[in-house]
Amino acid sequence: MEKVLLKVCKFTEKNGEKKVSREELVNGLSDVIDAEELDVVFILFDRDQDGLLDRKDLLDWLTTEFEERHLKGKIRERMDRLSVDENGLVTSEQFFGAYQDVLTQKEVDYISEIFNLTESSYFDIKQVECWAAEESVE
């Protein structure tokens, strides 16, 4: 994550516009993020759709990445506390109960949205493990 942040800061300082194009990011960050991931970044964070990310767009992207990485770390730390049934399922109530002292309501809502959870939902713990193990931008 620090590598990405430093490189992005250099781009915005170099071009003097305080904005970065997709091509500049692809060229400069090819060693840490692929072009497909950057396409997603532009779809999500280029709010004015001008093909450039300004400092606010970049900050929003990096903040989101940091928050998700932090959340995934919290989830990985407590997987052993979950009471999973023989089918590998856990209720959302059990899941959030195991994390109630470390997750914010915003994080609970985010996870619920990702896995389409309701209060009485069951979900496959393997899906959660896979999601939590995914590497985000470093």
> Of 104, 70, 77, whose CA–CA distance to 1 is shortest?
70
Number of structural domains the chain divides into: 2
- Pair 59, 18 in one domain: yes
Q: Kindly state whether residues 59 and 101 are assigned to the same domain.
A: no
For 72, residues 6+ apart whose C-beta sits below 8 A from its C-beta are: 131, 132, 133, 134, 136
61 and 10 in a common domain: yes
Query: Are β-strands 19-21 and 122-124 bridged in parallel, bridged antiparallel, or unpaired?
Result: unpaired
Amino acid at 39: D
Q: Does residue 138 lie within any of the structural domains?
A: no
**pLDDT digit string (tens) for the chain, length 138 residues:** 556 656 666 665 565 667 777 787 777 777 777 778 878 888 888 888 888 888 788 888 878 887 888 888 888 887 777 777 777 788 888 888 888 888 888 888 888 888 877 666 887 878 888 888 875 433
The reply to whether 75 falls in a domain is: no
Residues 36 and 92 in one domain: no
Domain boundary among 14, 41, 66: 66
pTM: 0.56
| Sign of the CA dihedral with 84 first, then 87, 88, and 89 last | negative
Domain range enclosing 12? 2-66
- Alpha carbon dihedral 61, 73, 129, 114, in 10-degree steps, equals -40
CATH code of residue 43: 1.10.238.10
